[in-house]
């Protein structure tokens, strides 16, 4: 992208963000690196409205990284209720323990160190110092990558190429606001399935305007199981199991009868056992004498 196009895109996106951005999100009102880390983990694969309430209650329950590290895993999973993908709660708990034990309770700010923490990938390890310290580095998740591929009209661009474009477009000195702006832009305008191209503030710089071809891709069916003739993803059943075990414990048949509306022991028991073993492997639940319960 030419320098003039870069400056124009930066100016237009930031102007759009100032008037249309989600400035009231609670994690955007803090520079506490631990609080921001909590929000970043919560926002993985979960929409913003659902995260807001859970983020506030989680921070109230575990206000410091020390309080989270000293808590029991089952208490963290209980507090995570409603967010789904409960493995993230375990990762967050282990991350807090690692910070306490390996870094003296001081949250690392170097992306090269952050990426070594459990549950932290290339994006999260960079986004945390961006949002907490306004670091002049670029972070690229699937939403930002979608913007970059559309702007350059290269749907199959490599990860390396996308990162180059992201760094090229980085608004130096305003990294925190810039990345927040890109996130909102991807969520409101440059959406995955129904992009609002006519309302786009950078349509003059976007080579895909007005018809991004990637928006027409067909969604792949997730691994799951039929329930009353409807395909239900496996992750939904995993979530139902954790919800049940938050307040109960039970055998495979007892759990299966609760989590699957058309449960048939002879037909579904082996499948349910495999889901339970998967949760056990992920260190979320344990089995004691044939009875399953939260770890």
Structure tokens at 206: 């976007």
The dihedral built from the CA positions of residue 77, 80, 83 and 85, taken in this order, carries a sign that is negative
Beta-carbon neighbour count of residue 39 at 10 Å?
A: 23
d(CA 222, CA 18): 37
* Catalytic residue chosen out of the listed positions 2, 40, 66, 222: 40
Q: Which of 140, 25, 143, 46 is nearest to 88 (CA)?
A: 46
Closest CA to 216 of 193, 199, 197: 193
Given a contact cutoff of 8 angstroms between Cβ atoms, the answer to whether 156 and 164 are in contact is no
**251: nearest Cα among 288, 214, 279, 224:** 288
40 is catalytic: yes
Residues in the chain: 295
Q: Which residues are catalytic?
A: 40
């Amino acid at each position: 992208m030419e320098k003039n196009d870069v400056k124009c895109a930066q100016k237009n996106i930031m102007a759009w963000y100032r008037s249309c951005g989600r400035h009231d999100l609670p994690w955007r009102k803090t520079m506490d690196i631990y609080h921001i880390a909590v929000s970043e983990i919560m926002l993985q694969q979960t929409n913003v409205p659902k995260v807001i309430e859970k983020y506030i209650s989680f921070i109230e329950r575990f206000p410091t990284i020390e309080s989270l590290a000293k808590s029991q895993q089952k208490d963290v999973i209980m507090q995570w209720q409603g967010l789904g993908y409960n493995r993230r709660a375990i990762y967050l708990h282990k991350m807090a323990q690692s910070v306490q034990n390996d870094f003296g309770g001081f949250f690392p700010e170097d992306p090269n160190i952050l990426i070594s923490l459990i549950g932290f990938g290339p994006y999260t390890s960079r986004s945390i110092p961006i949002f907490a310290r306004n670091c002049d580095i670029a972070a690229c998740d699937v939403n930002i990558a979608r913007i970059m591929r559309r702007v350059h009209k290269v749907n199959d661009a490599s990860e390396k190429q996308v990162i180059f474009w992201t760094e090229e477009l980085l608004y130096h000195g305003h990294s925190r606001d810039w990345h927040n702006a890109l996130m909102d832009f991807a969520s409101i305008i440059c959406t995955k399935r129904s992009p609002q191209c006519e309302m786009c503030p950078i349509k003059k710089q976007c080579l895909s305007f007005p018809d991004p071809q990637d928006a027409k891709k067909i969604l792949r069916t997730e691994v799951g199981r039929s329930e009353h003739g409807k395909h239900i993803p496996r992750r939904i059943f995993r979530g139902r199991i954790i919800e049940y075990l938050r307040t109960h414990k039970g055998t495979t048949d007892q759990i299966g009868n609760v989590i699957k509306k058309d449960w048939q022991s002879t037909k579904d028991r082996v499948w349910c056992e495999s889901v339970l073993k998967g949760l056990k492997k992920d260190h979320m639940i344990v089995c004691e004498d044939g009875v399953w319960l939260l770890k």
